[in-house]
Amino acid sequence: MGKGAFEGIKVADFTWAGVGPLIVKYLADNGATAVRLESMKRPDWVRISGPYKDGKPGIDRSCYWAYLNPNRLSMALNLAHPKGREIAKQFISWADVVAENYTVGTMEKWGLGYEEVKKIKPDIIMLRTSNQGQTGPHATHPGFGIQLVGLVGFPQITGWPDREPSPMPVAYTDLIAPRFGAAALIAALDYREKTGKGQLLDLSQLEAALNFMTPVVLDYVVNGRESMRAGNQCPSAAPHGVYRCKGDDRWCAIAIFTDKEWKAFCTVLENPPWTQARQFSTFLSRKANEEELDKLIEEWTVNFTPEEVMERMQQKGVAAGVVKNAADIYQDPQLKMRNYLWELNHREMGPVTHMGQAFVLSRTPAEGRKAAPCLGEHTEYVCREILGMSDEEFVALYNEGVLE
């Protein structure tokens, strides 16, 4: 294995749930040493949610937690204990980066707000991320990304015009915000090396996710228009939709923007008479008769698997794609080329799948160096190797319930 880009960078990782761990993942997968400070009494919420390996629940058996957390060390530390907080401070003085995404005020409660952290390590970079940022009247309001998607407005524009919103059933903002946090954090690390200056990075997940809504916002600001749910329609394409194919709940997306693509599309269908009809001869007429058009297309697509539809269309330069479900993604030939999942040997679960990184760096690719840790798997190791603790100190702290 090569050296990652962040070889030698040290992270005191106070993160949990989604956004924080995904930000640290960019550093850890690229060679940083990240020590996750975890609580046995109040474990990361994802650690106690499924799916569990072999269906057996257990704090070290969540496959989703593992999926998100490769390349981390885990230390079990009781931050409710004053001595636990002293140990946390030792980690901070060791670290280049402190990352946290607790509900605003939690780190302060432990005496680990930015001002304190800066006293311990003046050039620290502290990445703090929360639903709505560290300041402002709603900063301390608790919540997860699954609820924050509402505040950003995604459900308002997702679904059918005659139905209730049908939003993505995941904490969508959790999967947007990490990129923004990581880009700023890495730039700040470089800046620190050049100037010696650390700083506080305050990432509001609401503000980051609004980058994925900007045209909708501007359309309101400039034109007074409130975008609503529009199914799969697109103002500049017809046909543009998702068509039923052969099989159970199998679909293919097709999108046609130009006359050239329309001609190629008709060729793939072997030019049935309706494709030559006047009501479909121009973009405007296709748009005006879109419902009828969609029905006719579906009469053709139901005879083929979505893979067949995609291949026939793409070979002729028509944009089409299988609507892939989790099983399809799991065996996707294109993603496999990109080493998108890492199978790593977990201490408790054995071989288990971890998520890779979505870009390929030609010289310093991200790598699955080690599996996600069991809770506290490295407590003894980091106490000795990083904090230089003696056996006696370690045992004493363990017996006092400081180390867990």
Partner 1 sequence: MNQTNKESLLGNTRALDLTDDKGFLCGKILGELGCDVIKIEPPGGDPARRIGPFHHDTPHPEKSLLWLAYNTSKRSITLSIESKDGMEIFRRLVKTADFIIESFPPGRMDNMGLGYPELSRIDPRIILTSITPFGQNGPYRDYKAPDIVGVALGGLLYMTGDPDRPPVRIGLPQAYLHAAAEAAVGTMIAYYHRERIGEGQWVDVSIQHSLISTLANFIPIWEQRGIISQRVGSYRTGLTAGARQRQVWRCKDGYVCFGILAGTVPRSNRSMVEWMDSEGMADEYLKEMNWDNFDMFTLTQEIQDRIEEPISRFFLKHTKEELYEEAIRRRIMLYPVSTPQDLMENPQLKSRDFWVEVEYPHLKDTIKTPGAFVKASETPCQIKYPAPCIGEHNQEIYQGELSFSEEELVFFKQAGVI
* Residues β-bridged to residue 280: none
Does residue 317 bind partner 1 (CB under 8 A)?
Answer: yes
Question: Crossing angle for the helix pair 259-268 and 306-315, nearest 10 degrees?
Answer: 130
Does residue 259 bind partner 1 (CB under 8 A)?
Answer: no
Instruction: Kindly tell me which residue out of 98, 320, 386, 389 binds partner 1, with binding defined by CB under 8 A.
Output: 320
| Cα 123 to Cα 195: distance, rounded to the nearest angstrom | 10
Interacting span for partner 1 (CB under 8 A) from 70-78, 82-90, 185-193, 387-395: 185-193
Q: Kindly tell me which of 265 and 383 has the beta carbon lying closer to partner 1.
A: 265
Instruction: Kindly tell me which residue out of 231, 263, 292, 394 binds partner 1, with binding defined by CB under 8 A.
Output: 231
| Cα 353 to Cα 368: distance, rounded to the nearest angstrom | 10
Residues in region 71-100 near partner 1 by CB under 8 A? none
Instruction: Kindly tell me which residue out of 82, 109, 119, 187 binds partner 1, with binding defined by CB under 8 A.
Output: 187
Residue 383 CB, shortest distance to partner 1, in Å, is 25
Nearest to 22 by CA among 231, 201, 245, 171: 171
| Cα 84 to Cα 194: distance, rounded to the nearest angstrom | 33
Residue 194 CB, shortest distance to partner 1, in Å, is 8
Residue 98 CB, shortest distance to partner 1, in Å, is 13
Question: Which two three-digit tokens encode residue 333?
Answer: 């030939």
* Under 8 Å between Cβ of 92 and 120: yes
Q: Is 190 a catalytic residue?
A: no
| Cα 191 to Cα 170: distance, rounded to the nearest angstrom | 35
Instruction: Kindly tell me which residue out of 85, 108, 113, 199 binds partner 1, with binding defined by CB under 8 A.
Output: 199
Question: Which two three-digit tokens encode residue 322?
Answer: 């299988």
Give the interface size with partner 1 as a residue count (CB under 8 A).
160
Does residue 212 bind partner 1 (CB under 8 A)?
Answer: yes
Residues in region 348-387 near partner 1 by CB under 8 A? 353, 355, 358-364
Instruction: Kindly tell me which residue out of 273, 334, 392, 399 binds partner 1, with binding defined by CB under 8 A.
Output: 334
| Cα 187 to Cα 26: distance, rounded to the nearest angstrom | 13
Does residue 391 bind partner 1 (CB under 8 A)?
Answer: no
Residues in region 279-308 near partner 1 by CB under 8 A? none
Interacting span for partner 1 (CB under 8 A) from 85-93, 229-237, 267-275, 381-389: 229-237
Does residue 216 bind partner 1 (CB under 8 A)?
Answer: yes
Question: Which two three-digit tokens encode residue 88?
Answer: 């946390």
In terms of Cβ atoms closer than 10 Å to its own Cβ (0-12, 13-18, 19+), residue 18 is: buried
| Cα 394 to Cα 379: distance, rounded to the nearest angstrom | 10
Residue 94 CB, shortest distance to partner 1, in Å, is 20
Residues in region 30-59 near partner 1 by CB under 8 A? 30, 42-43, 45, 48-55, 57
Instruction: Kindly tell me which residue out of 82, 119, 183, 385 binds partner 1, with binding defined by CB under 8 A.
Output: 183
Residue 284 CB, shortest distance to partner 1, in Å, is 14
| Cα 276 to Cα 290: distance, rounded to the nearest angstrom | 15
| Cα 139 to Cα 151: distance, rounded to the nearest angstrom | 13
Q: Kindly tell me which of 91 and 243 has the beta carbon lying closer to partner 1.
A: 243
- Active-site option among 13, 174, 202, 294: 174
Cβ atoms < 10 Å from Cβ of 168:
12
Q: Kindly tell me which of 255 and 389 has the beta carbon lying closer to partner 1.
A: 255
Instruction: Kindly tell me which residue out of 1, 278, 291, 326 binds partner 1, with binding defined by CB under 8 A.
Output: 326
Residue type, 74: S
Residue 34 CB, shortest distance to partner 1, in Å, is 15
Q: Kindly tell me which of 343 and 385 has the beta carbon lying closer to partner 1.
A: 343
* Under 8 Å between Cβ of 10 and 33: yes
Task: Give me the sign of the Cα torsion angle 16, 377, 352, 28.
Answer: positive
Residues in region 120-159 near partner 1 by CB under 8 A? 132-139, 141-144, 146-159
Residue 35 CB, shortest distance to partner 1, in Å, is 20
Which H or E element spans position 401? Answer: none
User: What is the SS3 assignment for 28-66?
Assistant: HCCCCEEEEEECCCCCCHHHHCCCEHHHCCCCCCEHHHH
Q: Which residues are catalytic?
A: 174
